[in-house]
Structure 1
Amino acid sequence: MSGNPNSIPLNTMADTFGTGIFLETASLKELELYEQATQAHRDDYHLFCVQEKGTTTFEIDFQRHQVAGAAVIYIQPNQVHRVINLEKVNLRVLIISHDNLNADILRILQEIAPVKPLKLSKETFDLVSEAISLCFKFFERKQETLYQSILKASCNALAALITSQYLALAKPTENLSRFEIITKAFKSILERDFVLTKRPADYAEKLKISTVYLNECVKKTTGQPLSYHIQQRIILEAKRLLYHSNKSVKEIAFELGYDDYPYFSRLFTKTVGMTALSFRKKNLD
């Protein structure tokens, strides 16, 4: 974990596990990393958790989730998260780096993320359970000549199986309307460029359509205009930094691309309903 007190703690694959794929099984309270898991942090790797039983309560980007019984939990890189409470929980965990994740799986996860924890039927859970059991068997067989290839293939099969369960809930691309396709493309660019790109017109230019049409597509699909989504993404990042770092509001404004600090302060207050400092105090008390 990063030791810099002026940033959100970041667990890196290399520093924490020293490898591109790692598996762990136990009650989470018995894991070596349990104490870190209860502190708000980010990871630079993909985390797939298969919960066999019990109840887990945790927080991802200020959203609280409670997961009971057979379920899978996917946390994407850089999402700020922490464990809040555990009740008789058994987990099996796959931790895998960008480089070791199949490109098609990675693309789909980036398109559908963020996702919520997913409850599984008994039939599906049994299949997921078999897949992760096989991963663990291969993980222990380090003497195999093609160890890394076998391990990577088995873990990608598990990741693909879990991803397919999320994908089944999403509307197939071929069934998307023109408005939905454009909105999806906008959200993808927004996630990538929100620090540098603030104006709706700039997003329209990137998509090679008019601002009026882009706004119509987004509002028709989501119920909210372009400006709302841009502001919400910026404010989410501001909340992350206010809650999980000791940077000043002025430093956060600058980091998020605002040279005009008073404007950023007004935007935060208008969007959240309280000042940035009040938000920090409320969440740290």
Structure 2
Amino acid sequence: MNRVPQHKSAQYIRCGVVVREIAPHSTNHPPITYDHQDDYYIFGLIESGTACGMIDFKELHLAQNDVFIVQPGQMHRFIAAEGIKGWLLMVDCSYVDSDEKCILDHLLLSASAFKIENTERNDLCGLASILAHRLNSNKGMSIGIGTQRMAEAFVSVVAEQAQKFTLQTKHSHRHTEIMLQLRNLLAQHIAENHQPAFYASQLNISTVYLNEIVRKLTGLSTSSYIKNEIVLLAKRMLARTDLSVKQIANQLGFEDWAYFTRLFTQATSITPTAFRSKYLE
């Protein structure tokens, strides 16, 4: 049984696109204060004020000119805001093309938010305002090609700015590509194999070279990075399912669930059982 709600695009996003204006004291769309997951993208823009939220168990503090992105599958919730004004765009995954997805995945290696200049903020606000007007005038009918293109343009501008932000890290394109390939491999095989050597072989590089790349981009060894990914998956499962710690350990590839418990506790300073109890209290 799922403890954490799973929001689906077909249920929550009319015609694949929803735009919401964020304004102080607005009651039209109260922020979601409980943890949940979506199968669609959320792009947020802060015009003024401050806000705080949680994405994948990490607090995110936002201020003027910040753009934040919640990717499909990430657990998130609103915590607090003060004098907040801005926009939210929620779009089905079909509105994000493969190049943009690659850029957003690259961003995820280092951040969930970044700051933009006033000019880009004004461009995005203008697009969001026109989109909101068009959707509100649509009266539930299927949206036209012009409205679709505007939503896609909003996503493209965000991806363009995200790419500028990630380029500031000055990591080589080759290293970034290998890191993204590693993430894809982990999504496929993390329950089967936790060894850096396995992933290095899949990437046709040496374990030493893979470790060098992962450390440059994340500050962690490959082994530590893999453990962090395991712990994140375990947190999601502890929060959203009724599976026992032993069952979660087995699903994540640990025959010895006591070892899994030690690994989780070492990484988080709390046992899996205590994390579940604290998280759901």
Decide: shared fold, TM above 0.5. Answer: yes
SS in 2 for 1:23: strand
Alpha-carbon distance in 2 for matches of 1:107, 1:124: 21
Residue matched to 1:214: 210
Alpha-carbon distance in 2 for matches of 1:74, 1:221: 20
Residue matched to 1:41: 36
**TM-score, normalised by the number of residues in structure 2:** 0.85
Structure 1 residues 178, 107: CA separation in 2 closer, same or farther (over 3 Å shift)?
closer
Residue matched to 1:76: 71
SS in 2 for 1:263: helix
Amino acid corresponding to residue 17 of structure 1 in structure 2: I
| Alignment deviations for residues 31-81 of structure 1 (CA, whole Å, 9 cap, x no partner) | 56536x100001110001222222211111121122223332211111111
Match for residue 273 of structure 1 among 265, 269, 273: 269
State the Cα RMSD in Å.
Answer: 2.9
**TM-score, normalised by the number of residues in structure 1:** 0.84
1:257 aligns with 2:253: yes
Match for residue 176 of structure 1 among 168, 172, 176: 172
Residue matched to 1:195: 191
Residue matched to 2:119: 123
Could you tell me how far 1:29 is from its partner in structure 2? 6.0
Residue matched to 1:241: 237
Alpha-carbon distance in 2 for matches of 1:268, 1:171: 33
1:63 aligns with 2:64: no
Residue matched to 1:231: 227
Amino acid corresponding to residue 151 of structure 2 in structure 1: C
Residue matched to 2:96: 101
Consecutive unaligned residues of structure 1, counting only runs of 5 or more, are: none
The answer as to whether partners of 1:43 and 1:77 remain within 8 angstroms in 2 is yes
Alpha-carbon distance in 2 for matches of 1:78, 1:30: 27
Match for residue 23 of structure 2 among 10, 27, 34: 27
Structure 1 residues 226, 71: CA separation in 2 closer, same or farther (over 3 Å shift)?
closer
Amino acid corresponding to residue 54 of structure 1 in structure 2: G
Amino acid corresponding to residue 100 of structure 2 in structure 1: I
Bigger shift: residues 112-121 or 94-103: 112-121
1:8 aligns with 2:7: no
Alpha-carbon distance in 2 for matches of 1:27, 1:192: 41
Amino acid corresponding to residue 273 of structure 2 in structure 1: L
Consecutive unaligned residues of structure 2, counting only runs of 5 or more, are: none
| Aligned positions, number | 279
The answer as to whether partners of 1:138 and 1:150 remain within 8 angstroms in 2 is no
Alpha-carbon distance in 2 for matches of 1:91, 1:214: 41
Identical pairs, percent: 29
The answer as to whether partners of 1:24 and 1:93 remain within 8 angstroms in 2 is yes
